[in-house]
Structure formats: structure tokens, C-alpha cells
Structure 1
Amino acid sequence: MDFRLVRRLGHFLAVAEEGHFGRAAARLGISQPPLTAQIQALERELGVRLLERTGKGARPTREGEALLPLARRIAGHAADLESLARELRAGRSAPVALACVTSALFDYLPPLVRAMQAARPEAAIGVREMDTADAMEALRRGEVDLALLRADREVPPIRLRPLGEDRLVAALPEGHPLLGGPDPLPLALLAEAPMLVLPRAISPAYSDAMTAACRAAGFAPHAVREVGSAMAQLGFVAAGLGVALVSEGMARLKPPGVAFRVLAGPVRGVGVALAWNAERESEATRLAIGIAEARFPPAR
């Protein structure tokens, strides 16, 4: 990383955000002439003009506006790098980043994180809620170390360790006529119901399991609307906009306005798995795998 470039980007951001060279210089703790020189050096290095002076200060040029988002990301990554280096110099372990799907927040996340904290109390563990597709991509890019997600097959370099089986349940709005019907509920009774579904791009395994279950019951799901998350499914169900097939883990959230029914069968869903990038294995990764083996033995 060229730290001179990063420093100059920080100067550019300060002027763009303050809208004034003098205020930016005061914020950075330098005088105005060196700040101007740094901006000019950055413009020469990039080959574009970044700022233009106005009667009241300065503002980004068209090129400067286009570069602002990337400049902020680079500056943010540099700050993260410096922060991590300080932690390592102080003798603390590198923080562990973990992604988690909503439906695993209560059943699988707490025992895993508590066990990791007990084993490595000096290491910070950060959790980010995201869907399966985003978690997979974050693992590939190295943005997270581990993920709790719903997937049933490995896509190298991503490895999976299944933690438990799952089944789908019906989520119905309160007052729905089928709530007075048979229990467990035959899935075929939902054949004509407007279905709220997740796009396959968000969670391919879930989407395939839901579609396969409906076809096995003799119908294709009548998808009235695609929604962006499992929580959105439940919110739309509560609003009376349709019904949904969700993991039984979501049923334990007990959201108001939604009633759940076990499906006759039962209807198999996609279990939660611990995922990691085999090309980026670390001490934290191996620790989590060991905990998963001990806490969540394979089903027999």
C-alpha cells in the first residue's frame, strides 16, 4: 500500500467534506500551503483535477465526485489496517469476523460465539448479519473469517461443516382460515395461496428446497412477491400479503401477527452450516471447526 497516496487521499477527503481549504487544514492540524501542495501532488499522480475553488471555499470537480466513494473506502481500509496493527503490537489477537443468517442468530450463533470467547478471551469477535449469498461472497473476499449460513454443497474454496438438520414450516397471517385446519398442515393446502419467497440469488439451497417441497406436494408455488430477507417474509406475512415457507428457526422468533404450522411430512429444509474459506484458514477458523465438532455432532 502506498501510504503517501493514502495520506493525500485523506487530505482530499478533508477538503471535500469541509468545503474549504482553511477548515480542512485546521482539521488535519497542518497549515494551508502544505495541504494545497499535497492536493496538487495527488492531482498530478492521478492525472485529473479533483477540486475547484469557489467564492466561498472549494468543491470537488466532476472527476473528484466520481472518485470520492472509492477514496473513502481506501481511507477506511487504511484506518482498519492501522487499528489492527495497533492491536497486534499490543499483543492482542486479530479480531474474528463472523457472518450469520437471521435464522441462525438464536440456535447456533450464541453457543459458537460463547465457546470461542471462552477459548480466546483476548480476541474480539464481530458478527455481521447477512444472507447466505452475501456471506459466501464475503468469505471469498476475505471480509469475514467464518459464516453461519444455509447451504448444502461446497463450492471451492468454501468448505462447509453442517451443524444441524432443518425443516420448513408454514408462516400464516393471524386469522388465516388454515389455522383452523388440520395440524400438522398438508402442504398441498397452500397450493392456491399467494407465496412470499426469497430470490434464488439470496439463498439458492433454501429456494431449491422450498420449490422441491411444493412440487412433491403436487403444485408449483404461486409466488406473489419476492422479498429481500427472511425477516421481510415474516413482516409481509404479518401484513396479510401472503404466506411463506420458512425454516423452523425463524418460527422461534415468534413475531407478532404471524402464526406457524408444522407441515405434514415433515418437509425437509436446508440446515445451518459453518462455512470458511479453505485458502484463508487461521487459528480462529480451526478453533470454530473444533467447537462445531464438539457442540453439534453429526446426526445419526
Structure 2
Amino acid sequence: MMDFRLVRRLGHFLAVAEEGHFGRAAARLGISQPPLTAQIQALERELGVRLLERTGKGARPTREGEALLPLARRVAGDAADLESLARELRSGRSAPVSVACVTSALFDYLPPLVRAMQAARPEAAISVREMDTADAMEALRRGEADLALLRADREVAPIRLRPLGEDRLVVALPVGHAMLSGPDPLPLAMLADEPMLVLPRAISPAYSDAMTAACRAAGFAPVAVREVGSAMAQLGFVAAGLGVALVSEGMARLNPPGVGFRMLAGPLRGVGVALAWSAERESEAVRLALALAGRLFPPLS
């Protein structure tokens, strides 16, 4: 729980550090100098380090004070954000909802969920940020996102998952590629010698593992010609003729120019989209999204 006395004292410390003078800091804070000095001394006792030293012209942070300045600014900024949000809530506005979304869920899953949330809570502001699965997971852990639509097949505490749909891997080929007119469906083994455009495992572990496992089951290891930063980049590089890519079936529905898609033989299951949230921050918005997802995307059998 946030200790508001500590936050207030940190604000006093910041004022002196930024003004370089107790008198000017006291004037800025609208208090007299003796109470300011007492607050700084109390903070130093609480933290167990000396934060400020007096100079001939004023005051400056000690080495320990300098080390604490960045965190002190961050805590003070978070407290200001909290107070601002509290004012908005008191005025009747609902808390804003931040949603992280992978590229491949932007068209199939995001629109119906956001529209349903807006219909249920029209007074709540919803913001969406496009990011890869790894970044979305981290945003949930840090509390920078309330919800995420991402591709993952296992929970890692404190992140919880509610699968929304299954997916298959398909191959994206540049227009004019000979395999666009080959056998249907295309045996994955026919791609053994094709240069592949892949996502780094760090940004989408489940996708990377699914692609690698599918290729190994077909008897080959993928020849990775280049790692790219997003699913959209995969399609752009394919259109440029720089390689082929195994992508989720949902990406094929984007129908990008210069790219053709083929279904692949065999049960090449990809990693479906899941609604993710942090169990440590299961807010009203999370519960609403889960309830709506249950109606929009029936549970997988």
C-alpha cells in the first residue's frame, strides 16, 4: 500500500534537490523552512541514509541522494497520476482501460471485444496498443496494460489466459512463387529448402516453438534467412521476395498485396489467440472482458 507520508516527504526532497536551496524549495511548496527541514530529516531517518548536504550557497543531494532521485521522481509521478485518476473517478468517470494486442488479433478478435466493452461501459475510455506477445506479457506484469490479446499456450504466474480461438499455420509465399500452384494442401516438407522469415523466439515463444516443432515433424529444420520484428514485417518481406513464412491462418485474411497463402497438409496447429490478464490486478474491466469473451468466443472444446 502506498505510504502517502513517504510520498509527501519524497516530494519535499525533490523540491530541495531541484531548487538547490531550502528557502526556495519552501516557497515553492508553500510552507516555511523549519517544517521542510523537519520533513527531510524524517525522511532521512526513515530511509537510513543522508539525502542532502548544505553548501555555502544552498543545498545539494549527497551521493545517496543522487542515486535515489530517479526513483523518487517516478514514485512522485505515480502518486500524481493516482490523485488525478481519483479525481476523475469522483467525478463519475470510469477508470480507463488499456489493452495490448498482437498484430494477428487486430481484426478477428479485437474489434468485437472492444465494441462490446464500449457498449457495456460507454463512459470508460479504452486505449489499444499494438505489441508482440513478449512485450504484452511484460506490460501486464508492470500494470501498464489491463488486458492483452496475445498468442500463448501456457500460463506463467501471475499472468492468466482465457483461450479465444484455435489457429493453424499456413505458408505465406511471394506472388509468382511456383508452390502457389502446387498440390493442395501443400506438404510442409516441400518447404525444406526454402529460406524462411521468422520471428525471434524472444518476442513470441509459443509461435516459434510451434513452427519449429512442425518443421521437425516434417523431417527438416527451417532455414532461417532473417529474423523480423513482427508478423506484418514477415508479410512485407515475403511480398518483397526475400523468403517464405509460416504464419497464423488469421494473417491470411489480411490479404496483403504481393503475398499468396497456401494451406498445409497435416494437423499443423498454431498457437491460438488468448485473452490475458494479471491475477494481481483482476479489475472490473478484466471481469467484464472475460464475461463478454465468453459470449463472443465460446469456450474451446
What TM-score comes out, normalization by structure 2 length? 0.76
Determine the structure 1 residue equivalent to 2:4: 3
Which amino acid counterpart does residue 271 of structure 1 have in structure 2? Answer: G
Separation in structure 2 between the aligned mates of residue 225 and residue 27 of structure 1, nearest angstrom: 59
List aligned pairs for 1:32-181, cutoff 5 A: 33=33, 37=37, 42=43, 45-48=46-49, 62-140=63-141, 142-155=143-156, 158-172=159-173, 174=174, 177-178=177-178
Structure 1 pair 245/11, CA: closer, same or farther in 2 (3 Å)? farther
Alpha carbons of 1:117 and 1:274: their partners in 2 closer, same or farther (altered >3 Å)? same
Task: Give the letter aligned to residue 74 of structure 1.
Answer: V
Shift of 1:157: 5.1
2:272 equivalent in structure 1: 271
Q: Distance in 2 between matches of 1:194 and 1:101?
A: 24
Between 1:134-143 and 1:95-104, the stretch displaced more is: 134-143
* CA deviation profile, 1:12-45 (whole Å, cap 9, x unmatched): 55666x67659x8599464895797466665565
**Match of residue 248 from structure 2:** 247
Q: Is contact 1:21-1:32 (8 Å) kept? A: no
- CA distance in 2 between counterparts of 1:5 and 1:265 reads 62
SS at match of 2:165: coil
Counterpart of 1:203 in structure 2: which amino acid?
A: S
Flag structure 1 segments of 5+ consecutive residues without an equivalent: none
Residues 211-222 of structure 1 aligned to structure 2 (within 5 Å): 211-222=212-223
Measured in 1, the distance between the counterparts of 2:66 and 2:240 equals 41
Residue deviations 1:212-251 (CA, integer Å, cap 9, x gap): 2212322111234444443444455566654332223334
**What's the C-alpha RMSD, in Å, of the aligned pairs?**
3.9
1:261 aligned counterpart, secondary structure: strand
AA aligned opposite 1:119: A
- Residue 191 of structure 2: aligned partner: 190
The one-letter code sitting in structure 2 at the alignment partner of 1:112 is: L
Alpha-carbon distance in 2 for matches of 1:228, 1:27: 51
Kept in 2: contact 1:104–1:149 (CA 8 A): yes
Shift, 1:166, TM fit: 1.9
Could you tell me how far 1:120 is from its partner in structure 2?
0.8
For 2:226 and 2:55, how far apart are their aligned partners in 1? 49
| C-alpha separation in 2, matches of 1:223 and 1:209 | 15
Partners of 1:27 and 1:150 lie apart in 2 by 53
8 Å contact kept, 1:25–1:35: no
Q: 1:103 to 1:44 in 2, by over 3 A?
A: same
* Pair member with larger Rg: 2
Letter in 1 for 2:259: A
Percent identity between the two aligned chains: 80
Q: Single out whichever of 6-15 and 264-273 deviates more from structure 2.
A: 6-15
How many Å apart are 1:10 and its aligned residue?
A: 3.6
Look up the equivalent residue of 1:261 and give its one-letter code: F
Shift in CA distance, 54/103, structure 1 to aligned 2, threshold 3 Å: farther
When residues 82 and 225 of structure 1 are mapped into structure 2, their CA distance, relative to the original with a 3 A threshold, is same
Q: Judge which range, 178-187 or 98-107, deviates more.
A: 178-187
Instruction: List alignment gaps of at least 5 residues for structure 2.
Output: none
TM-score in terms of structure 1 length: 0.76
